[in-house]
Chain A
């Protein structure tokens, strides 16, 4: 028999009580695992395809306000800029505006495919076909799979913004490629087509674009280049605001609300609850065992050793609940990642950092809930303990 055997047997002396405590802890870690992973996934989704190496130039008033297409060439001439392309939000949907919306941009294919070669993965043949075909469109794998689209097929893509001269709002586009993301976890619910095709057939906002993406010679130059770009257009009718892509994406995510704050609050509430439940139950369980602890000490078990065993019991309990909670949330998240929800959030599966911080949390919980009973076991005098009936 080892100390661990003793700890284990003591923990399960009243199996129902231990199971109920485990359920409490399990639920808290389920919440922790799910919410934290969701938060991580959302942050990652907002950043996927964005990098600190590229800058985004948008209208200073707001990124939904347009910029003149002439800016593209003027930005390209600014020192430190090594690549420029542009994109315009199309408000794309297929058939039904509510249920089949996706990310859709009108872009300049040649330059866009150069700047985003890493994020939008196509075969060379597909890339060439896309650049050559004026009505060409490339669609993400997840959309292609969803609608069963194949390369070569022509599909009508509608816009909830733009209108054609004939009053129709759908453009026939020929699929010239199906792309995947840089990582399998990146969302590919997007499509890209020729800006020229839109510009020729559009009824308003002619020669206007949404944002300009800029590649610099080195990310060290970013701040300097961003300042130079904004300075070049200061006091013009279209002033610009230039930031790196990552900053841009994070600011956008924050608009929905402070998810970090909500997640922190809910997880804190769940843990405050189990902290109270577990520690008070352990205190009462340990009180029942006062005499046994006195006997252990009488037999010659040192106070530190008794303390370690009591703490060990609390740690075993919290780790058990935590491992179960984290495992079940990992299982559910893996399931969700295969469901349609994945197209919104990207890969939801539990990040190692979430599992690791969950385990650290479990250890902290064990130490905190075990602290009071352990301290009283440490201080308990043998004479007092044995006198108790």
Chain B
């Protein structure tokens, strides 16, 4: 296995007023291709900041972030956006679907960033919805769907453009236990069957159990917890 992501000596300061507070001061991390990693930690430990750095939605103040052999920490904002569209799928706690779009249209959204012809787009959307077992809800608007169904749409959206990396931020934080387990099984399946590398931030130990390994983040440093 080779590394998909490598963080070398990454620093990140959070500016509050005039003084900067260090969140990460020399963070190192390697995530192998095809891994499914859970990151746990108390609030304020920097979990979400880490996810933002990994997803290129925030910038580090020092160190290197290497994705698939390429440094992304020096990318311009536009390069980062294009890289995200190509390489990363995002899953949020509150699903963050567009309320004005149907399930299928929500899933199609990332494909607007590709040059795929309409027909191929339709096929990809259908496939993604089939994977999350929501083909029959394609024409429904988010508010006509349950929380679990909405999260499935969000997962379909995350995988539709076939990215290497999936980032999930508390994907089950808003769901009941049974629904949560369904979602987690889906993620596990994506990891095992489609080979997606998944990094999931969670504070739910039950959820972490679905991952291959769990990292514990506290005060900006990692402690690995064996599952």
Interface residues of A (CB under 8 A from B): 1-3, 6, 9-10, 12-13, 291-292, 295-304, 381-383, 386
**Residues B100 and A299 in contact, CB atoms below 8 Å apart:** no
Contact (A382, B52) CB under 8 Å given A295-B92, A299-B84, A300-B81: yes
**Residues B90 and A299 in contact, CB atoms below 8 Å apart:** yes
| B13 at interface, CB cutoff 8 A | no
Interface of B is mostly: helix
Cα of A298 to Cα of B112 in the assembled complex, Å: 14
**Residues in B whose Cβ lies below 8 Å from that of A9:** 100-101
**Residues A1 and B84 in contact, CB atoms below 8 Å apart:** no
**Residues A300 and B57 in contact, CB atoms below 8 Å apart:** no
**Residues in B whose Cβ lies below 8 Å from that of A304:** 78
**Residues A1 and B112 in contact, CB atoms below 8 Å apart:** yes
| B205 at interface, CB cutoff 8 A | no
**A-B contacts, 21 listed (Cβ < 8 Å):** A1-B112, A2-B112, A3-B112, A6-B112, A9-B100, A12-B100, A291-B96, A292-B96, A292-B98, A292-B99, A295-B92, A298-B57, A299-B85, A299-B110, A299-B157, A302-B81, A303-B78, A381-B58, A382-B57, A382-B58, A386-B92
Interface residues of B (CB under 8 A from A): 52, 55, 57-58, 77-78, 81-86, 88, 90, 92, 96, 98-101, 105, 108-110, 112-113, 157
B97 to chain A, nearest CB (A): 8
Cα of A297 to Cα of B52 in the assembled complex, Å: 12
Contact (A299, B57) CB under 8 Å given A10-B100, A13-B100, A292-B96: no
7 A-B pairs besides A302-B82, A303-B81 with CB distance below 8 A are: A9-B100, A295-B98, A299-B113, A300-B84, A300-B110, A302-B77, A302-B78
Q: Residue among A12, A301, A304 with the most chain B CB within 10 A?
A: A301
Closest B residue, CB atoms, query A295: B96
**Residues A298 and B55 in contact, CB atoms below 8 Å apart:** yes
**Residues in B whose Cβ lies below 8 Å from that of A13:** 99-100
**Residues B100 and A297 in contact, CB atoms below 8 Å apart:** no
**Residues in B whose Cβ lies below 8 Å from that of A303:** 77-78, 81
Closest B residue, CB atoms, query A12: B100
**Residues A1 and B108 in contact, CB atoms below 8 Å apart:** yes
**Residues A300 and B58 in contact, CB atoms below 8 Å apart:** no
Identify B84's interface contact among A6, A10, A298, A381, CB under 8 A: A298
**Residues in A whose Cβ lies below 8 Å from that of B58:** 381-383
B65 to chain A, nearest CB (A): 16
**Residues in A whose Cβ lies below 8 Å from that of B100:** 9-10, 12-13
A288 to chain B, nearest CB (A): 10
Cα of A124 to Cα of B217 in the assembled complex, Å: 103
**Residues A300 and B52 in contact, CB atoms below 8 Å apart:** no
**Residues in A whose Cβ lies below 8 Å from that of B55:** 298
**Residues in A whose Cβ lies below 8 Å from that of B112:** 1-3, 6, 301
Closest B residue, CB atoms, query A9: B100
Contact (A300, B101) CB under 8 Å given A1-B108, A291-B96, A383-B52: no
**Residues in B whose Cβ lies below 8 Å from that of A2:** 112
Cα of A297 to Cα of B88 in the assembled complex, Å: 12
Closest B residue, CB atoms, query A389: B94
**Residues B101 and A301 in contact, CB atoms below 8 Å apart:** no
**Residues in B whose Cβ lies below 8 Å from that of A12:** 100
**Residues in B whose Cβ lies below 8 Å from that of A386:** 57, 92, 96
Cα of A22 to Cα of B55 in the assembled complex, Å: 40
**Residues B90 and A383 in contact, CB atoms below 8 Å apart:** no
**Residues in B whose Cβ lies below 8 Å from that of A302:** 77-78, 81-82
**Residues in A whose Cβ lies below 8 Å from that of B82:** 300, 302
